[in-house]
Structure 1
Amino acid sequence: MFFPPEVGDVTLYGVTAKTVYAESYIEDSKNIDVDECGFCVYPNDDKTDVRYVKAVLSNGMFSVKIDSLNPGTFYCVKSYARNAVGVGYGDFEKTCKTLFSVADISTNDVLDITPTTAVCGGNVTSDGGLQVIERGVCWSTSPNPTINNNKTINGTGIGSFTSNITNLTNETTYYVRAYATNSMGTAYGEEKSFLTTAKPTISTSEVTNISFTTATCGGNITSDGGAEVTACGVCWSTSLNPTTSNSHTFNGTGIGSYLSYLTELAPSTTYYVRAYATNSAGTSYGDLKQFTTLAINAPTVQTNAASSITTTEATLSGNVISDGGNTVTMRGFLYGTSSNTLSLGIQSGSGIGNFTSNITGLTPNTTYYYKAYAINSVGTSYGDLKQFTTECNCGMSVTDYDGNTYGTVQIGNQCWMAQNLKTTHFADGTYIATGTTTSSTTAYRYNPNNDSNNVSTYGYLYNWPAAMHDASSSSTNTSNVQGVCPNGWHLPSDAEWTQLTDYLSSHNEYLCDPSTIKIAKSLASTTYWNSSNVTCTVGYHPAENNSSGFGALPAGYYSNGYYEFSGNANFWSSTRSGDYAYYRALYYNSASIGRSYGNNNIGFSVRCVRD
């Protein structure tokens, strides 16, 4: 038969308030492995509250430290061992009494912190076997406070309690521990630390939008100091370090940024301003800012672009941005044909804001200079000098057979189209075919760079038969060759092109370099050209081009292929030279106008001149 193991008696030693060491041995294993061994522990007066504490068997012996006992309590301890058959117990149990100790206590979290008070407390979980005769919390500004420091008394016995801590100093770090005292001594819970609430932390914003009598400031509250901010704003004075006793705003409560509007200030006066924030700990102030209100000055006025420009009239526009701190009693414009002497004037009301004046009796195709003015008690101010040019007598536009409309530009005594021709018909309605090859006899038109989408911007390229429409060569000025041009307009002769370039060359405003005759930029458009890094060439800073208003576009040319798109512009004349015809050319990398003659079958751009 098989039996449980036989276990020896228990030996107890090393008794403390909460622990005891137990030791025993296996008398007889019954030749079966022991699976488990240890001790049964229970209070002397409650054998139903049994706790099994396992031990490790080594060479027939086993021992263990039994913990989690209650102080000052009798315990019974019996050994046991288990094998596959069952459990064997020692014949006798041993009894011991744990020692008395100080109480077990924990410290609660600190709550409801104000500048001078806080709430804490503790929980006495064991009295150490002896009556707790006093409990509470103790605190100090140094770590590990004891009952010799400040303390509360919150009754006796075990259990939780709440303590009110008073007479604290604001913005101070305190250390607090719960305590419990019995006849063995005083026990302390874990230490907690807390910071009494402080005044808010606040910074002052920069002062902006400064005027004669107002300004904008504000603040940013980054911490309420642990207590609700009940008021915030800015305060200001003409003396240093203003407080809420001086002029101030109220901008609500709570933390965060805010904006304040300072009003009823005096002009030309230096002020000092600080943001403020108030909580139960007091009022904090941000950094000091200084600003000076604007002095009363002359008005600020700007000259705007002219509009509604005709041959004899224009509308001038201005804006009084600031009255300088005093009422603008008069405003208007001065104008004239010389930038140095504006001999004419017109009044346009008073006060600040936008204003306009219509001027009449102007000379066609003339540049006028003008500037706005405004007057207050301090003096008169003027806007920037601007200019405009009245329209020429050649009309606003011209329309071809297809209904395409072209702007016009007067240069000297000539009236030119301001865009490249893009008609598909002669003025008599004859259709101009799209060419797929060159021809010296048949009229053809070609899409620039072989892309029909380019026509709306660059116009068509025409061979000379198309440009002339069966007319004979002409070298006179004017050519009297209508060619492909609309009614009332004609294809310019070589002489007419020369008249244009001579006019530009003789006027410095069209010259890139007055010391040389470099007029290409004055004729070229401001866009679509290839770039060049050579001064005065068409592709160098193209935004400076087109002072003449001609606006030549780099459509390139056709000669059994498409060439120089964005690189050059070529325009036919009505003048033959042998088997060739004269033309004018602009190149992105050149500062001059090219005059040459080309094969009649080449496709070039066309510009027309009014009859």
Structure 2
Amino acid sequence: MATVTLRPTAEGDLIQNYVYPTDGVHWDKVDEATPDEDATYVHRYGGVVGAWGEDNSELENLPGGVGTITNVRITVRVRRIAQSPGQVGVANIGRGVRVNGSSYYSTFGTTNDSYFDTGVDYVTNPDTGVAWTISDVNSLQSLVRNKFVNYALFQGGFTSSRCTQVSAVVTFDPILAPTGTTDPATSVAANSSTLNGTLDDDGGEACDCGFEWGLTDAYGNTTPTQSRTTGQTFAQAISGLSPGTTYHFRVVVTNTAGTSYGADRTFTTLGVLSTVTTDPASGVGMVLANLNGTLDDDGGLACDCGFEWGLTTAYGNTTPTQSRTTGQTFSQAISGLDLDTTYHFRASSNNV
């Protein structure tokens, strides 16, 4: 749990009390972080006898990082003011909130002529009956009520009250930085893949969830994000990848408290099979020949190209390989052949 104190910043809906000093606005008479007691205050000592006066003040907005709001406490610092010393008349005071044009408050009586703090708690929004939202708190107004009472008939004077300070203390669960897990990639193909992740803890609010990816763990590319909450998974398909290539990726999860990263994972795209043509042998002599081939398609990667050869289509012999790319030819000379003998051969290529 955490708390934040909000103080008046502007006049509210109702301004019915009097102020001291008499110049200026009402809210700045009660906005001090450290109370100035009788130096500035609002009061109801005067006007129609028996009438309540209500002052509302707009409050500061909540800062960032506020999660679930569990309580709003309105605190006012007040004292009785009596016409005659020793007078026993009770000063009537109310404190509360004004929400959507309606006032909610509780009242009490006091004979205390020294300033003291008194407050009222609102676990839920009294206007809606449900939990406070950030927008609720940002739009509520504080409320203080004072009443001017005539005790002259039996105590010889008037009684009212002064208020020198107003604040709202908001109790909340703070938003924390989220955490996420980088899950294995799926649907890995030669030129595309799907990146997967899980939002383990949203920190108290929905998060923007996506990925960083690239050829190294410096990444260099980012995906669009998706809004997720605790326990939900998310995925993004990426394309335009190179066949037979290893890529790095990790999850990136963000809320108003910050950004967190998952562990690095890798996947390797599939290689596209190369295609090759076996061309006619050339330079055939009594004991030697040149085997020839063409690499028709390297599948996106340079290929090791060579030949299998032998007395049957089971071959049994291989030649050294040469590195070639699409459209290039390759040849290998073989020797030690038998006279007047038929030999079989075929070209081969490998891009893995």
Structure showing greater radius of gyration is 1
Length-normalised TM-score, structure 2: 0.35
Identify the structure with bigger relative contact order (alpha carbons < 8 Å, sequence gap 6+).
2
Write 1 or 2 for the structure with the bigger share of strand. 2
